[in-house]
């Protein structure tokens, strides 16, 4: 059975975006990008919210057409295009690039997807992650903490409790890694990761 993983970059003070959606502080060099590529190429599906999908679809489909693009970016362009994707949006009329559109999170559909997938699934988008948290669908948090204080913006974990049963939810540290540019990976599994999945 596949695990469903939230994968996100964060500042030390907990922001995933700065003001006005600023991501310029993300320190993604070739080492970090290469790590992302290897991990994401091993997935069976990407799950995006609307904002994440539009951000990705606005750049990655043609990122490898420019020979001046770094090799890691050209590699990821193909990974993103080829990977099956579920996109959750109430406003988009259509999605492209091997993607399927969904209006609402169907718990049974996600549990079936996890049950039949041999490889893990990754989710991006703060609002969508909060919905998946509320439905107890997340198995792992894969957070890359960048050595930056942003001060304001948007947090991955929203104000107010979205945890099943009101929380808290125990996690256990499964992996750490420090990259040369100071980015630190913190990978946490749910504390009951050995339980039988529903």
- Give the lowest-confidence range in 11-15, 25-29, 80-84, 158-162: 158-162
pLDDT, averaged across the chain: 91
| pLDDT, mean of residues 117-136 | 91
Nearest to 132 by CA among 146, 117, 113, 116: 113
| Structure-token pair, residue 22 | 């600023």
Domains of the chain plus CATH, in order, are 4-190 (3.40.430.10)
Is the pLDDT reported for residue 136 higher than 70?
yes
Give the pLDDT band (50/70/90) at residue 140: very high
The DSSP letter of residue 115 is: H
Is the pLDDT reported for residue 166 higher than 50?
yes
pLDDT at 193: 67
Strands 85-88 vs 99-102: parallel, antiparallel or unpaired: parallel
Q: What is the pLDDT of residues 94-103, one digit of tens each?
A: 999 999 999 9
| Structure-token pair, residue 39 | 């991990």
pLDDT at 127: 87
CA distance 4 to 137: 7
The pTM assigned to this predicted structure is 0.89
Is the pLDDT reported for residue 3 higher than 50?
yes
pLDDT at 192: 81
| pLDDT, mean of residues 119-142 | 92
pLDDT at 101: 96
Give the pLDDT band (50/70/90) at residue 66: confident
CA atoms within 13 A on the CB side of 87: 23
Give the pLDDT band (50/70/90) at residue 163: confident
């Amino acid at each position: 059975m596949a695990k469903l993983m939230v994968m996100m970059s964060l500042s030390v003070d907990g922001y995933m975006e700065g003001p006005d959606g600023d991501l310029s502080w993300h320190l993604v060099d070739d080492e970090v990008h290469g790590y992302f590529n290897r991990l994401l190429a091993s997935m069976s599906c990407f799950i995006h919210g609307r904002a994440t999908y539009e951000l990705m679809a606005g750049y990655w489909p043609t990122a490898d057409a420019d020979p001046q693009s770094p090799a890691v970016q050209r590699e990821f362009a193909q990974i993103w295009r080829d990977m099956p994707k579920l996109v959750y949006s109430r406003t988009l009329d259509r999605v492209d690039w091997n993607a399927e559109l969904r209006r609402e999170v169907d718990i049974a559909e996600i549990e079936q997807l996890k049950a039949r997938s041999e490889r893990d699934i990754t989710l991006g988008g703060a609002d969508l992650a909060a919905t998946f948290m509320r439905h107890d669908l997340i198995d792992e948090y894969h957070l890359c903490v960048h050595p930056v204080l942003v001060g304001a913006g948007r947090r991955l974990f929203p104000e107010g409790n979205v945890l099943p049963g009101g929380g808290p939810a125990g996690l256990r540290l499964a992996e750490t890694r420090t990259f040369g540019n100071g980015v630190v990976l913190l990978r946490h599994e749910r504390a009951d990761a050995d339980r039988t999945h529903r």
